[in-house]
Structures are given as C-alpha cells and as structure tokens.
Amino acid sequence: MMKKEVSMRKKAGSFTRRISIAVFLLLGLVWTGIVFNVDAADEGIMHPIMNPPQYTDKGKCPDCGMVLNMWARTRYSFTNSEGAHETCSIRCLADMSMRLGEPARDVKVAIYLDPARMVPAEQAAYVVGSSAKGTMTTKSKIAFASKDEASHFAAANGGEVMDFAGAYGVASQEVEMSRATIDANRKKSGKIKLPGPEERCVTCGMYPARFPEHRSQILTSEGNSLHFCSTRCLVNYQAKPVDYVKDPPKVQWIWVTVYPDGDYDNAQGLYYVVGSKIMGPMGLDALPVRKKADALALTEKEGGTVMSFDDITPDMLTGGHKGMGMHHK
C-alpha cells in the first residue's frame, strides 16, 4: 500500500513539475514580447516578429520610436503635408494626424497574415478587439485582404469586423486616453528611468531631477540611461557625443519632456519651439510640444520658431545663459 502511495506521489510531483515548466515557458514568451495567436486554421502568428526580414527600409516609427520591421504586421504608410511616412500601427497613424492637424492621405496597411503585402486601407477589412496582440494599444486592430478572411479570423479569435473608417475611429478615441498607460509601461519596462537626485547632466553637470519641465534622456542599446537637464544639453550631446563621453554608446531611444504636460515622449514625434522667451536651465531652449497648432500658438505668445527634432542644431540655442542652476520659465 505504501509503495503504491509513493508511486502516486511521484507521478503527481512529476505532473506538477511539468505544469510549472510549461507555465514558466509561457510567461517567458509573454515577457520577451513573443506572443502567438492561433486562428481557426491552427496557424502560429508571431507578433512582434523577432529577427524580422526587411519589410521596409524605414527604421523606426516616427511617432513612438518602435522598430517598424518587428511590428510589420500592423504597419501603415501614408503621406501628409510634411512628406511620406510609415508607422507601426493605426494608433500612431491617428496620433500623427492629430498632432499635425490634418488627415493622412494615400493610406496603405500591411495584411496581418502576410506583412510583406500592403493594400489601400479603405479596401481592407479589419478585426478590432480580438485576442491578437495589439500594437501601442490593448485593443488590437488588424487588417485583412477581404471581409471573408476577417470574419474567419474573428470566428476563432473574437473581435468585431469593420472597415477602415470604423477601426480608425476607435484608434482616434484611444489616443489621448492611452498616453498615461503607455507612459507607465515605458517606465515599468525600464525604457524610461526617472533621474535620481544625484544624477548629473551628461553635458553640463547640473541635476536633471531639479528641472522636471525640461529634462530629457537617452536609453542606450545596453539598457543604460544618459540624463540631461534640458533639450538644449541633449542637442549639444547629439551633435558631438565624443565631447562628453569617451566611448559614446549606441542610442536606442531618445525621450524629452513634453511642454507643458511634463511627461516624457519620443523625441522625434514632437514639434519644437526653438529660441522662445521661455528659458530653460541653460538659457535658450527647444520646447517639445505635441501638437503643431499648440507650438505655433506658443510662438505667437513667446516668440521662437517651430522645428522638428532632427533639424535643431546647437548654434540655434546659443545664448540666453542665466547662470548655473537658475531655472527661468
């Protein structure tokens, strides 16, 4: 009898260990961002795509900064008055359009099950809110080449079938509401790290934590953060990193503080008021603003010029220095 009980305990222990290992492996897949969603045909779908082929020669989403080829299943291409663009998601498409204040034109979307294929967005059918992993949102919005394909996917994975206008409307409504969640996720994952009280600006040596309305930071490919007291110091560093760091690391993300909101956002996705009467910690500064209309309104009141991040040079921010540690707003 005792031998039978021991044998049963061993089997139970073995089963428990197998379950634990399976749970650990599943959590590992979720933690690293590798999520498989299975449709009715039992086809494995990886999103984001790890070690992806080159679906596009564009590097990162200009709105959020994520790598486009990794998020190729949900990417978009379009044009507006500022040129041609590609984003990682319909959410970033909506965000860029709202920031510029004009609708996107010539919008194309990748087919979720065939990311190398792009079709006019108005010809695609969408599944909104399925179990598929979302991109920059908890509610996925994925495109299919036909309504039949979308309905087939929704039958197995849930979600509502709709057209581009419907999916875009849902995405637009989520943009402002999602900012706090996205910010929290970036901080939780370590992409954004708040500067400690003893952290010094890489460029000037001041304390970024003392300037929450102006501070910025770079996340390196090694996962380290370089902190700056202002956009001005960030621009100076970007122009010639070797002047401030012996072996400049590779840049993964650049975060700046949005004016006047006070939260961090992707540097390339914003508009900048350069050379206004609003002084930063080191004098003349570039104030990051989300919407172009708000940036233009700020120049009417405080002076300066509206520019993109990549067009700002150190000489544009020379002067206006008010002394170490003095904050002028």
Nearest to 149 by CA among 136, 137, 134, 159: 159
pLDDT band at 103 (very low <50, low <70, confident <90, very high): very high
Beta bridge mates, 126: 143, 162
Question: Which segment of 98-107, 155-164, 316-325 scores lowest on mean pLDDT?
Answer: 316-325
Long-range pairs of 145-151 with CB within 8 A, sequence gap ≥ 24: 145/111, 145/114, 145/117, 145/119, 149/113, 149/125, 150/125, 150/126, 151/125
Would the pTM of this model clear 0.85, i.e. be above it?
Answer: no
| Mean pLDDT rounded to a whole number for the chain | 87
**What pLDDT score does 282 carry?**
95
Using the predicted structure, report yes or no on whether residue 37 has a pLDDT greater than 50.
no
pLDDT value at 306 more than 90: yes
- Would you say residue 328 has pLDDT above 70? no
Q: Does 30 score more than 60 pLDDT?
A: no
In 141-265, alpha helices (H): 147-157, 164-189, 231-239
Answer whether 218's CB lies under 8 Å from 225's CB. Answer: yes
If DSSP codes are grouped into helix, strand and coil, which group holds residue 143? strand
Amino acid at residue number 213:
E
Determine the Cα–Cα distance for residues 188 and 185; give it in Å rounded to an integer.
5
- Residue 320: band (very low, low, confident or very high) from pLDDT cuts 50, 70, 90: low
Confidence of residue 15 (pLDDT cuts 50, 70, 90): very low
Asked if 127 contacts 154 with a C-beta cutoff of 8 angstroms, the reply is: yes
The stretch 221-230 carries a mean pLDDT of: 97
User: Taking residues 200-204, what's their average pLDDT?
Assistant: 98
Q: Which of 231, 222, 227, 225 is nearest to 208 (CA)?
A: 227
When pLDDT is cut at 50, 70 and 90, the band that residue 43 belongs to is low
pLDDT at 249 over 50: yes
9-18, 204-213, 290-299: range with lowest mean pLDDT: 9-18
Question: Is residue 19 scored above 80 in pLDDT?
Answer: no
Kindly give, in sequence order, each residue whose CB lies less than 8 Å from that of residue 259, ignoring residues fewer than 6 positions away: 213, 273, 287, 288, 289
Other CB atoms within 10 A of residue 73 CB:
27
**pLDDT score for 275:** 93
Span 79-102, pLDDT tens digits: 999 999 999 999 999 999 999 999
Residue 36: the pLDDT is 33
pLDDT one-digit tens code per residue, 174-192: 999 999 999 999 999 999 9
Q: Are 221 and 302 in contact (CB under 8 A)?
A: no
Q: What is the pLDDT of residue 7?
A: 47
